[in-house]
Amino acid sequence: MNKKKEEEIKIEEEEFKEIEEMEGSVLAEKFQKLKKELKKCQSEKTEYLAGWQRAKADFINARKEEEKTREDFLKFAEAGILKEILDFMDSFEAMMDNQELWSRIDKNWQNGIKNIYNQLAKILKEHNVSAVDTLGKPFNPREQESVESVEVSDENKDQTVIEEVSRGYKLHDLILRPAKVKVGVLK
């Protein structure tokens, strides 16, 4: 090859290297820029995903809470009417416990009153109303209301229900009416 051609090739190679270096720096710049954008997109994706997951969890929790509220409402919605039935039950029990009055009532009337009483008791049972067991148990202010203190000499009867003045009732775990009781107090 002649010298002129060799010089031209050399110049072209140098120019090509310069162009390659220029293009390389531009490509490197573009690559760095794309790398930063990708990192930003990944960060945003993670942030959006976390936000979406929190929102989904909040929604699920809110739905569960709303369902529980609805269940509780349905469970205890009848509490008012059931309390009124308890007042009738007390009246029937007071009448049947008064032996002098009860013995003067005609037997057919007695049977009718007992049937009504039993029907009301059945309604209460079907609606999960139960009597609060108090006699001989430790006094519990959540379920009982103390109407009188009675002095006791037995240490085991201290703060124990000695007498039930009025029966207490609960609907599921809700106290419809606290029992009125006399509580033993050690002298």
The string of pLDDT tens digits covering residues 23-59 is 666 666 777 777 788 888 888 989 999 999 999 999 9
**Which pLDDT does position 56 carry in this prediction?**
93
- Per-residue pLDDT, 28: 66
Say whether both 116 and 141 belong to one domain: no
38: number of Cβ within 10 Å: 10
Residue numbers of the domain that contains 100? 78-127
**What's the confidence (pLDDT) of residue 118?**
94
Shared domain check, 73 and 9: yes
Could you tell me if 90 and 131 are in contact, meaning their C-beta atoms sit under 8 angstroms apart?
Answer: no
Q: Do 71 and 89 belong to one domain? A: no
Same domain, 49 and 67: yes
Number of domains, the chain: 3
Task: List, in order, residues 6 or more apart from 172 with CB less than 8 Å away.
Answer: 75, 76, 128
Q: Is beta strand 174-177 parallel, antiparallel or unpaired with respect to 161-166?
A: unpaired
Ranges of the chain whose pLDDT falls below 70: 1-28
Whether 69 and 82 map to the same domain: the answer is no
Query: The tokens of 113 are what?
Result: 């009153």
What is the value of pTM for the model shown?
Answer: 0.59
Same domain, 26 and 62: yes
Looking at the fold, whether 176 and 155 belong to one and the same domain comes out as: yes
> Is 96 in the same domain as 72?
no
